[in-house]
């Protein structure tokens, strides 16, 4: 019977099968974007690992073209290395990792990235990725990793280990259906922007034509991304509380669970909460907590006062570092930067916004550089709250009559333990009102700094225009003055000319000062 | 040591945890869109089930507002029902279903939809979805289904069965963080557009204010979606062939595998292939097929000739049905429709495009209605190949000087066994050249039909303008003529007036004919 047959076909699929069939969801769409995605996944993992381990990152990226759309990507870092028993799951299993469940502002969030590259590599070339890693303990491990797509489990081949003094991880992936160039969506652009937002990292890129570019570090301060946040009582949902109660906590009472698992909940808060929801509920075993009870707790928490979510888990680049980095990398005439104080969205998720602006000098045209936790966002520009905020600002007020016609780079970095991405591609930040408004505020604060510069520039332009007019009329003026004063025309001309040149010299001095040292 | 701790946190996650944390990827983003997504998932499943079972669909959708952002959604169909042992996995497990692995032009493709709604419901209200189903065999089953998110496994409660004469499935989901209205992204608009593209379905919608709308069927032809396609040799990738060889086929030789699993491969093709890749390879056991060997086969297949992919798996609405549906639903003055012949993209995936145009009458303003396999696409309009194709057509040539100022609905349905969506949200079709060009061709073919109408309309406008001028000058004309002919002015006026009215009457008749019966 047809009806029975329909359900005879009912099957279950692994998440690897799903993403293999929908690889565009992971960023493997066009040829250029696929390569950029692969570079992005490896580079983010390397930077995250270095920062968690407190190491100044040193990355080596090499892209080789075998023929046509067939490339090899190698990324090596000086990070902490990966224990050999963990390697297979990092590179050979989707949805496995250290970052998914922790409140920490890492670049990666989902435990898909590196394994996604493995899947793409094996889909297009049938080959495994090759991993070499050592924890600096005298032993180097190498192995080939593939994914058994039907089961979403790693397949390891050619594993070997040998003595050696080195620390870090090196991954090599062979891919087809990719393309390298230097366009604005390319791996090159991705690396360039990564270097800009990560001045503590030294990054080397070797392009397929052999050209080697090194972005040297401009900051020697170790970035530490090792603090893990806790959810704030004002940001927690009923569902979150249920998950904590049933899967996470080891506490035996709801009251101690709230104290242990949430931020800013102490004895006082528990006493206050007891008045609102009753003692019985707080004495309950979390494993027995019901939805309606959790809902009562969440509603009660919302009526209470707590100190703001702690924001020390947020790792900003810092205004000074942004300015140094923009200066070194873009050679502009003027830079300004702002790192705002942390804010909170959805009641409990901390975030902060930093903005840098680089103008004139070697900066040609307008460029918006978007970042989330220092990771460049190259795609889906239109859908991003950063773009929308930039477009909403009245730049004229700050002396830029049209962004499109100005020589200006606007650099925006949003830092958060949970970046609210629009989609799986993680390329656009959703326009959550608190986040959008804070980006606008940061842009306007930067705008006010720019204004000093743009004002000076326009004053200078006026003065120079006046000087040009004077120069133009100098001969006639000299003649007229000579007649009135009954003086020698040549002498008058000489006096006026040297006065004008003197003034010009002072203008030049003034002009050179513009930008330098300015905020 | 910090290094060890890093990996102590290494964990694996279920796909349910992943999508719970990234629910926006499944379409649960804004309040309006979340409700539309839930309606979409249930409605698509109901229509797919009816069509697979050869049943004329009858859907009942009821949306009730409990308070604020808290709603109940009920969707009932007269479909084939679901066996009680399958129900838990349909509604309580992500990535389980009948559609993922088959080449069939269904609305659902991924086995996520209905379980995604369950997850959203339980995340926002803590409640299960309630399912009632019967296969029409005298027994009705009811149960509550939730998802154990940590394991991506269903949890079933309150299961019961009782005798009853009914066939179909009814799902009830209680959700928060949703919103109902009639905006252009709303559940209402989704249902309205679904009705338009599915004239064989009767759909009833009861809105929160109790207002009941019934879209009656305008076609009584059963739509059968029960033919399953096979991959075409020209569209197959090396990875596809490896999957067939290692996971799918029961054939013992590569040659018989190719004949069984691929379309259009017969004895002749195998003989030709043997000359290109050698007999040994074709004699091999598929289980032993290596990547390089599969690559040789795929490359050889690309040099050979095959009949075009069979396209009888594609189920179109049909031009006549589109016209009837647009007429009934939109009450336009003029309709035209085109169903193009099937084409193939990426060498082996069949697709076809149909276009309907409705103009004037009750149609006010411009509206583009996009569909994929009869499912309305409401979001991500800008990213869609349909939008891009519509914007690329020079409508002036077809008598529409500006789409934005015209009263016109353009209806586009793309049918395929694999719709190339841009992203997980399944709301935009990627601009693959073959697909884009075919959409354009269909629009232009429709445009040529419109031209007859727009031409008549503009001729009519000219005639009416002339009449108006004559009317205006009638008194003066009568006076002048009376003098020349030496006739009574009143009489002349009378004659002219009645001649003009006669002409006007004929114009009216002509005008009424425009549109009616036109293509």
Give the domain CATH number at A264: 1.10.8
Q: Nearest C-alpha of chain A: how many angstroms from B14?
A: 7
- A497 is written with which tokens? 């000319």
Which residues of chain A neighbour B14 with C-beta distances below 8 Å?
95
Cα A236 to Cα A241, A265, A379: the distances in Å are: 7, 13, 31
- B136 is written with which tokens? 């029409």
Contact yes or no for A49 and B21 at CB 8 A: no
Q: Nearest C-alpha of chain A: how many angstroms from B23?
A: 9
Rounded Cα distance between A200 and A213, Å, is: 17
Contact yes or no for B3 and A53 at CB 8 A: yes
Which residues of chain B neighbour A100 with C-beta distances below 8 Å?
11, 13, 17-18, 21
Q: Are B334 and B423 part of one and the same domain?
A: yes
Q: Nearest C-alpha of chain A: how many angstroms from B365?
A: 26
pLDDT at A518: 42
Residue of B464, B473, B478 whose CA lies nearest to B506: B464
Position B101 in a domain: yes
Which residues of chain A neighbour B89 with C-beta distances below 8 Å?
10, 12
Mean pLDDT of B438-462: 90
For tokens 């360039």, what's the residue? A192
Give me the numbers of helices (H) and strands (E) for chain A, helices first please: 15, 16
Residue with the larger pLDDT of the pair B257 and A425: B257
Q: Are A326 and A431 part of one and the same domain?
A: yes
For tokens 């081949």, what's the residue? A157
Q: Are B97 and B52 part of one and the same domain?
A: yes
Q: Are A275 and A202 part of one and the same domain?
A: no
Q: Nearest C-alpha of chain A: how many angstroms from B513?
A: 46
Give chain B's mean pLDDT.
87
Q: Are A393 and A282 part of one and the same domain?
A: no
How far from each other are the two terminal CA atoms of chain A, in whole angstroms?
77
pLDDT at A490: 83
Position A206 in a domain: yes
CATH number, domain with residue B400? 3.30.230.10
Position B495 in a domain: yes
Residue with the larger pLDDT of the pair A110 and B335: B335
Contact yes or no for B25 and A53 at CB 8 A: no
Looking at the partner chain, which of B22, B98, B102 has a beta carbon nearest the beta carbon of A424?
Answer: B22
For tokens 């242990």, what's the residue? A260
Mean pLDDT of B473-495: 74
Closest-approach residue (CA) in chain A for B290: A126
Contact yes or no for B6 and A52 at CB 8 A: yes
Closest-approach residue (CA) in chain B for A119: B239
CATH number, domain with residue A208? 3.30.565.10
pLDDT at A247: 83
- A348 is written with which tokens? 């409990």
Q: Which is it for the CA torsion A394, A397, A402, A408, positive or negative?
A: negative
Q: Are A184 and A207 part of one and the same domain?
A: yes
Q: Which domain holds residue B358?
A: 319-446
* Residues with Cβ within 8 Å of residue B473, at least 6 apart in sequence: none
Residue with the larger pLDDT of the pair B516 and A144: A144
Rounded Cα distance between B247 and B239, Å, is: 12
Q: Are B278 and B342 part of one and the same domain?
A: no
Q: Are A271 and A322 part of one and the same domain?
A: no
String of DSSP letters for B69-96: TEEEEEEEE-S----TTTHHHHHH-TTE
Other Cβ atoms closer than 10 A to A238: 21
Rounded Cα distance between B293 and B35, Å, is: 49
Q: Nearest C-alpha of chain B: how many angstroms from A227?
A: 11
Band of residue B3 on the pLDDT scale cut at 50, 70, 90: very low
Per-residue tens of pLDDT for chain A, all 519 residues: 334 456 666 667 788 888 887 787 788 878 999 999 999 999 999 998 898 889 999 999 999 999 999 999 999 999 999 999 989 988 998 877 655 555 555 666 556 789 999 999 999 999 999 999 999 999 999 999 999 988 889 999 999 999 999 999 999 999 999 999 999 889 999 999 999 999 999 999 999 999 999 999 988 888 876 667 788 888 888 988 998 898 888 999 999 999 999 988 999 999 999 999 999 999 999 999 999 999 999 999 989 988 877 777 788 999 999 999 999 999 999 999 999 998 888 767 889 999 999 999 999 999 999 999 999 999 888 889 999 999 999 999 999 989 989 999 999 999 998 888 877 667 889 888 899 999 999 999 999 999 988 888 888 777 777 777 777 777 777 777 677 767 787 877 787 778 777 777 777 777 667 655 444
Is this model's pTM higher than 0.80 or not?
no
**A450, A336 in Cβ contact below 8 A?**
yes
Q: How many separate domains does chain A show? A: 3
Q: Nearest C-alpha of chain B: how many angstroms from A421?
A: 9
Which element (helix H / strand E) includes A62? strand A58-67
Which residues of chain A neighbour B149 with C-beta distances below 8 Å?
243
pLDDT at B109: 53
SS3 content of chain B, % helix, strand, coil (to 5): 45, 20, 35
Mutation target among B1, B4, B8, B18 for the A interface, most CBs of A within 10 A: B18
Which residues of chain B neighbour A13 with C-beta distances below 8 Å?
95-96, 100-101, 111
Q: Are B380 and B478 part of one and the same domain?
A: no
Position A390 in a domain: yes
Report the percentage of chain B scoring pLDDT > 70: 91
∠ CA B287-B291-B296 to the nearest 5 degrees? 110
Mutation target among A1, A3, A94, A294 for the B interface, most CBs of B within 10 A: A3
Contact yes or no for B83 and A49 at CB 8 A: no
**A375, A415 in Cβ contact below 8 A?**
no
- The domain boundary, picked from B215, B246, B276, lies at B215
Position B224 in a domain: no
- The domain boundary, picked from A275, A303, A331, lies at A303
User: Which three-class secondary structure state does DSSP give residue B346?
Assistant: coil
Position B2 in a domain: no
Rounded Cα distance between B389 and B438, Å, is: 9
> Could you give the maximum distance between any two Cα atoms of chain A, in Å?
119
Other Cβ atoms closer than 10 A to B124: 23
Which residues of chain A neighbour B226 with C-beta distances below 8 Å?
2
0.85 surpassed by complex ipTM: no
Position A228 in a domain: no
Q: Are B22 and B148 part of one and the same domain?
A: yes
Looking at the partner chain, which of A98, A382, A430 has a beta carbon nearest the beta carbon of B9?
Answer: A98
pLDDT at B21: 78
Which residues of chain B neighbour A29 with C-beta distances below 8 Å?
422, 430
Lowest mean pLDDT among A308-322, A426-440, B88-102, B125-139: B88-102
Rounded Cα distance between B284 and B282, Å, is: 5
Which residues of chain B neighbour A95 with C-beta distances below 8 Å?
12-15, 17-18
* Residues with Cβ within 8 Å of residue B452, at least 6 apart in sequence: B518, B519
pLDDT at B311: 73
Looking at the partner chain, which of B96, B102, B422 has a beta carbon nearest the beta carbon of A12?
Answer: B96
pLDDT at B517: 45
Contact yes or no for B6 and A53 at CB 8 A: yes
Rounded Cα distance between A219 and A201, Å, is: 8
Q: Are B464 and B413 part of one and the same domain?
A: no
pLDDT at B12: 72
- The domain boundary, picked from A280, A303, A326, lies at A303
**B46, A43 in Cβ contact below 8 A?**
no
- B227 is written with which tokens? 């033919």
Residue of B322, B395, B404, B391 whose CA lies nearest to B357: B322
Residue with the larger pLDDT of the pair B242 and B496: B242
Q: Are A78 and A187 part of one and the same domain?
A: yes
Mean pLDDT of B19-38: 85
Contact yes or no for B110 and A53 at CB 8 A: no
Q: Is it the case that residue B39 has pLDDT exceeding 90?
A: yes
Contact yes or no for B86 and A10 at CB 8 A: yes
Which residues of chain B neighbour A229 with C-beta distances below 8 Å?
none
Contact yes or no for B29 and A95 at CB 8 A: no
* Residues with Cβ within 8 Å of residue A228, at least 6 apart in sequence: A102, A103, A104, A313
Position B312 in a domain: no
Contact yes or no for A2 and B53 at CB 8 A: yes
């Amino acid at each position: 019977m047809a009806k029975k047959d329909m359900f005879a076909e009912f099957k279950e699929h692994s998440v690897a099968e799903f993403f293999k069939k929908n690889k565009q969801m992971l960023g493997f769409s066009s040829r250029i974007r696929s390569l950029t995605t692969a570079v992005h996944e490896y580079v983010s993992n390397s930077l995250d690992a270095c920062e968690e381990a407190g190491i100044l990152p040193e990355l080596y990226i090499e892209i080789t073209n075998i023929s046509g759309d067939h490339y090899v990507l190698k990324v090596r870092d000086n990070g902490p290395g990966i224990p050999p028993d963990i390697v297979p799951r990092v590179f050979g299993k989707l949805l496995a990792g250290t970052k998914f469940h922790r409140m920490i502002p890492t670049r990666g969030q989902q435990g898909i990235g590196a394994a996604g590259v493995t899947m793409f590599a094996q889909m297009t070339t049938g080959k495994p990725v090759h991993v070499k890693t050592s924890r600096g303990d005298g032993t180097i491990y190498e192995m080939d990793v593939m994914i058994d797509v039907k089961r979403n489990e790693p397949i390891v081949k050619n594993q070997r280990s040998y003595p050696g003094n080195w620390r870090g991880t090196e991954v090599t992936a062979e891919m087809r259906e990719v393309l390298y160039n230097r366009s604005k969506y390319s791996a090159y652009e991705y690396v360039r922007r990564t270097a800009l937002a990560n001045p503590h990292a030294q990054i080397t890129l070797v392009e397929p034509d052999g050209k080697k570019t090194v972005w040297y570090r401009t900051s020697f301060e170790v970035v530490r991304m090792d603090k893990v946040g806790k959810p704030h009582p004002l940001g927690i949902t009923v569902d979150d509380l249920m998950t904590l109660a049933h899967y996470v906590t080891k506490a035996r009472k709801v009251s101690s669970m709230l104290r242990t698992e949430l931020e800013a909940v102490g004895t006082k808060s528990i006493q206050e909460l007891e008045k609102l929801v009753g003692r019985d509920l707080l004495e309950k075993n979390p494993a027995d907590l019901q939805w309606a009870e959790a809902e009562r707790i969440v509603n009660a928490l919302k009526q209470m006062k707590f100190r703001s979510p702690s924001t020390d888990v947020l790792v900003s680049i810092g205004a000074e570092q942004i300015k140094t980095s923009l200066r070194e990398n873009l050679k502009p005439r003027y830079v300004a930067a702002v790192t705002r104080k942390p804010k909170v969205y959805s009641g409990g998720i901390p975030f902060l916004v930093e903005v840098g602006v680089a103008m004139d000098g070697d900066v040609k045209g307008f460029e918006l550089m978007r970042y989330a936790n220092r990771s460049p966002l190259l795609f889906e520009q239109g859908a991003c709250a950063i773009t929308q905020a930039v477009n909403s600002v009245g730049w004229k007020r700050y002396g830029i009559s049209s962004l499109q016609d100005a020589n200006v780079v606007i650099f925006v970095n949003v830092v958060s333990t949970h970046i609210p991405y629009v989609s799986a591609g993680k390329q656009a930040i959703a326009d959550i009102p608190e986040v959008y408004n804070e980006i606008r505020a940061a842009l306007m604060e930067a705008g006010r700094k720019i204004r000093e510069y743009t004002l000076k520039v326009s004053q200078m332009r006026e003065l120079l225009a006046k000087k040009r007019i004077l120069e133009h009329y100098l001969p006639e003026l000299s003649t007229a003055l000579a007649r009135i004063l009954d003086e020698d025309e040549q002498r008058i001309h000489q006096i006026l000319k040297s006065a004008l040149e003197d003034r010009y010299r002072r203008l030049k001095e003034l002009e050179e000062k513009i930008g330098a040292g300015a905020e």
